[in-house]
Amino acid sequence: MNIESLQSEIRRFVEEREWEKYHTPKNLIMALAGEVGELTELFQWLTAEESQNVMSDGKSAQKVRHEVADVFVYLLRLADKLNINLEEAVREKLLLNQQKYPAHLAKGTAKKYTEL
């Protein structure tokens, strides 16, 4: 996956429709939250087991894929607008999380780092 290429495609899509004026960080965050809400709705009343198997049903799987894609598109667009290098940001955050959650303390527990 080439993040910069995807961002370029999304940018081109937006420019062709003259939507740039709507793509402020605030609006993109609100749109991202809305799409996360739509993804949440697909899982809202599922049992834990049903949520684990949601991709085994073709119709449900397609809905989930589309909502995940919508979330990702808005996240990519937001990062593009804010000049955030997502690969660098993710690697930086992983390093911070490794420090906050050392494997020997966090293994097998969902406790917050302040409780380890």
Domains in the chain: boundaries = 3-84, 85-116
Residues near 23 by Cβ (< 8 Å), separated by ≥ 6? 14, 77, 81
Output the pLDDT for position 105. Answer: 93
Whole-number average pLDDT of the chain:
97
Average pLDDT in the 1-16 region? 96
Q: What is the pLDDT of residues 18-49, one digit of tens each?
A: 999 999 999 999 999 999 999 999 999 999 99
Span 67-91, pLDDT tens digits: 999 999 999 999 999 999 999 999 9
Looking at residue 35, what is its pLDDT? 98
Instruction: Kindly give, in sequence order, each residue whose CB lies less than 8 Å from that of residue 116, ignoring residues fewer than 6 positions away.
Output: 101, 102, 105, 106, 109
CATH architecture of 3-84: Orthogonal Bundle (1.10)
